Chain A
Amino acid sequence: MQDPYVIMNTGFKNSRDSGALSGYQIDIRVPYYRGIFLSSVHSLELAVDGQAIAPESLRIRVSGRTFTMAQMLEADSVRWGFGDPATLFVARPGGLKPGIHEVRVAIVIRKSYLPAQDPEHLYEEFPGLWQNGKYSTFIEGPTVVTRRMTLVQ
C-alpha cells in the first residue's frame, strides 16, 4: 500500500468521555497491500507535535474492538482489512488544541515472507539469512509517515 495514505485526516478529532475532553483520535490504514491479522503489527509508535506517545496512553480500535498495545500484539484472530481505518486513541485530558498538528506514525508489519526456522538448511542460498551458523529472518524497518493536519474540535 502507498505510504501517503496511511494517516487519514478525516477522523482526526478530540474524543470525549462523559462530556469532558479525554484525548484525541487518529485514523490510520494498514501500510500494506492486503489485510492482516492485527497481531501482525510488530510495532506501532505514534508521535504528535514531536512528542512520543507512551504506549500505555495508546489504544487501537479495529473492527469495532479496542485493544491496548499489548493486546494488539496478541490479537491473532482479528482482521484489519485492506483500506479499513483503524482508530488510534490517545489519552490526554483536555484533548488537543484546535489548529495544525504534526502526526508521525512508525509502524512495522511482520510479513512472514520467510519461515521462522530453517531446520533443513533450505534457505542457505538466500543472502543474509544464515550468518555464523545461525538462521534468522529479518523484520523490515518501519514505515514512517508524517502528516501535518488540522484538528477542528
Chain B
Amino acid sequence: MTLSRRSFLSAAGVALGSALGSTVSAGRGNATPDGTARDARGAEARGTAPAAAGVGATPTSKHRIRRGVAMYSYQEDFFVRQMSVEDCLREMSDIGAYGVELLAEMMVPNFPNPPAAWVDQWHGWIEKYHLQPACYTQFIDSLRTRTHTLNVQEGVDTMLRDIHLAKRLGIPRIRALIGTPVDILEATVPHLEKEDIWLGVELHFPVHIHGRLVERLLKIAEKTRHFGFVPDMGIFQNKPNPYLRDHMIRQGVLSPDAAAFIENAWANHKPQAAVAAEVARMNGGPAAAGYVANVFMIRPENPRDLIPIMSRCRHIHGKTWGLGEDDVDPAIDLTQVIPALIEGGFDGVIATEYEGQRHVQDVAPFSAVEMIRRHQVMLRRLLGEIA
C-alpha cells in the first residue's frame, strides 16, 4: 500500500504518535533478565496472599503468562493528581496485575536521579503491594536537537542512564522504541550483559514480524540472551478503532455516514483508492481522508508468526483503546493471540497499555482505571483464570 506522507501522518499519527508513539540495584527483589521463574518463586517465598494467584495468572502447568499494567495507562489520572504513584500500584495489586511497567520519565521525581528516599519508598510499595517490577519504558530521544542526531556513544550513554535507573528501581527489563537506531542497540548489548538487564525492542505497528527490521534485530538477539522483543498487541488490530471514530464524529470532522461507508468498504475489501475518491466526492474533508488511510492500514499480523521468536520475547504490551462492558476489545482481538503465546511458551508479563484517553477525554475523562480493569478481565478469561 502506498500512502502519502500526509495521509500516513494523519492516519497513523494516533497510533504512532501516542505509543511508538503510544519497563537493579542488584540484590533487591528478584531482578534478573530471564528470571520470571524466580519472580514467581519470590512471591511464593514471601508467603503473601497474591502468591496464590502466582503473580498474575493462576500458576497452572498450562502457561507462564502473568498480568501487569504499563503505567503509561494511568497518565491522565496521575497528571491531575487523581492518582499518585502509590495509588496506581495499589490499584494494580487490587486487580492482580502484579507486573509493573514503569514510565520513569512520567513518574520518577527528578528523573533520572530520584532522591534516595523516593527509591526506598518505591521498593517499599513494591513489597507492600506484592508487585513485581517487570519493565522500564525507555525513550531514546535520538533527534536531540533540530540538527543534532545522537551518535552511537551518546546513544549508549542514554541507554546507560536508563539501565542504571532501572537497576536502582529493581526493574530487570527495558522496553526500547521500535525506532531506536540499530547501531546504538548493538553497542548497548555489552552493557546489558554486564549489568544483567534485558532489553526488548517494541514490535509496534506498522512493523511486520517477517519484515527487514525484525530480521535485522534477530541477528543481535541470536548473539545474546539479554536482547529481544516486546510485542505490542496493536500489531493484531483486526477492526477499526471505534473510540477514534466516535471521537472524530463528535468533533464534527467525520460524518457517521462516511464512517460507515469507509468501514463497510474496508470490510468488503474494496480498493482503498476508490474508497478515498468516493469519500472525497462525499465532501468528507481531510479528517475523513485520514480515516480512510487509518482503516485501510489495518492488517493484523498472524499470531502464530510470533511463535518462532517467542523465546526472544520477555514482555508484552497489551494495547487497548477501550473495551465494552462485556470486556470485549472491539478493535484488537486476542482470542487467537493468547493461545499462540501459550503454545510458544511465552514466559513473562502482558502489561495492559490503555491508549484511549485522548479519544474520550471530551465525554469520559479518567477512563483508564475502568478500561484497564475490563482489559484485565478479558486477559483473565483468555488465560483460563475464569470461565
Contacts and interface: CB of A to CB of B under 8 A. Distances in A.
Contacts of B122: none
A33 B106 contact: yes
- B interface, over-half SS: loop
Interface in B129-183: 139-146, 148-149, 177-182
A113 B111 contact: no
A106 interface: no
Interface in A117-132: 117, 120-128, 131
Contacts, number: 123
A112 B297 contact: no
Interface stretch (B4-12, B31-39, B371-379): B4-12
A34 B103 contact: yes
A35 B111 contact: yes
B5 A113 contact: no
Given A112-B141, A140-B13, A123 B213 contact: yes
A21 to B, nearest CB: 33
B181 A2 contact: no
Contact of A128 (B8, B180, B213): B8
B3 A127 contact: yes
B304 to A, nearest CB: 19
Interface in A42-63: 42
B182 A128 contact: no
Nearest to A79: B111
* Chain B residues touching A, range: 35 or more
A116 interface: yes
Contacts of A35: 105-106, 111
B5 A131 contact: yes
A114 B182 CA distance: 11
Interface in B100-119: 103, 105-107, 110-111
B179 A83 contact: no
B20 interface: yes
A1 B297 CA distance: 25
A94 interface: no
A82 B5 contact: no
Contact of A116 (B17, B21, B142, B216): B142
Given A5-B80, A113-B17, A116-B149, A127 B361 contact: no
Given A83-B79, A113-B20, A126-B206, A141 B9 contact: yes
A125 B111 contact: no
A39 interface: yes
B263 interface: no
B248 interface: no
Interface string B295-334: 0010000000000000000000000000000000000000
B5 A2 contact: no
B5 A111 contact: no
B1 interface: yes
Give the interface centre of A42, A113, A116, A124 by most chain B CB atoms within 10 Å.
A113
Contacts of B110: 81
* Chain A residues touching B, range: 35 or more
Interface in B205-234: 206-208, 211-213, 216
Contacts of A133: none
B212 A34 contact: no
A39 B216 CA distance: 31
B380 interface: no
Contact of B141 (A2, A40, A140): A40
Given A115-B179, A125-B207, A128-B9, A82 B79 contact: yes
A39 B145 CA distance: 5
Contacts of B21: 111, 113
A74 interface: yes
B17 A125 contact: no
Contact of B361 (A4, A83, A112, A126): A4
Contacts of A140: 9, 13, 17
B61 interface: no
Interface string A99-111: 0000000000011
A36 to B, nearest CB: 8
A40 B142 CA distance: 10
B75 interface: yes
Interface of A: 1-2, 4-5, 33-37, 39-40, 42, 73-74, 76, 79, 81-83, 110-117, 120-128, 131, 137-138, 140-141
6 contacts: A2-B365, A40-B141, A113-B21, A123-B213, A125-B206, A128-B9
The 6 lowest CB-CB distance pairs between A and B, nearest first, are A128-B8, A34-B105, A114-B179, A113-B20, A116-B149, A122-B213
